[in-house]
Amino acid sequence: GTWRVRAMVRDPAKARPFPAGVQVVTGDLRDAASLAAAVQGARYVISAAGSTGGEWFGDNAPEKVDFEGTRNLADAAKAAGVRHVCLVSSMGVTHPEHPLNKRLNNILDWKLKGEAALRASGVGYTIVRPGGLRDEPGGTQGVQAMQGDTLENEGTIPRADVAAACVAALTTAAAAGVTFELIGAPGTPPPDWPRVYAGLAKDSRDR
């Protein structure tokens, strides 16, 4: 079927032109009241938001965006009757000793708290923890999906492949309640996402 897409941006003037047919709404994860309209009538939500370079401290600190913002969005989605939220988190979030925490104001710790807030919200969810993101075309290689956040197989993945994983998660029953790490790997593209998700374990309640 055809997806109708709504993109939430903080500043429409700064948003790159979207393809025709994409509805643009203004909202800010840090402003919970602004999210109700953004998710109203939506069946699914994908969140790829995160603190960005140069803003690790202050108003756009990871605590405000990656934790509180994710919690605000999850709560708004639950209240609006959204069926499923797919959150892009990060590989390494369960490792407090990770160097990114030192450099970027504990960003991975706050992403982990954001994950927990999504799980606690009661809305259906999938959490994707990609490795390093690359700006390259997707669908050119296989993927490796893992669980346990061991960091043994650190790797990278094109953003487009992460996007494909998120879109597939929305309508794949086996993706519900699943948290996993994702990197690119040798293999046949494009990945068979239902099969990838079927091989993953659901989160335990006490996680």
Q: Where in the sequence numbering do the catalytic residues fall?
A: 90
E-strand stretches of the chain: 6-9, 23-26, 44-47, 84-88, 124-130, 132-134, 142-146, 156-158, 178-185
- Output the six-digit token pair for 78: 């639950």
- Output the six-digit token pair for 9: 């941006």
- Output the six-digit token pair for 115: 């994950």
- Output the six-digit token pair for 195: 């099969």
Amino acid at 8: M
- Output the six-digit token pair for 57: 């401290």
Q: Give long-range contacts, CB 8 A cutoff, 24+ apart: 29-32.
A: 29/65, 29/68, 29/69, 29/70, 29/72, 29/73, 30/59, 30/60, 30/64, 30/65, 30/68, 30/69, 30/72, 31/72, 32/72, 32/75, 32/76
DSSP 21: T
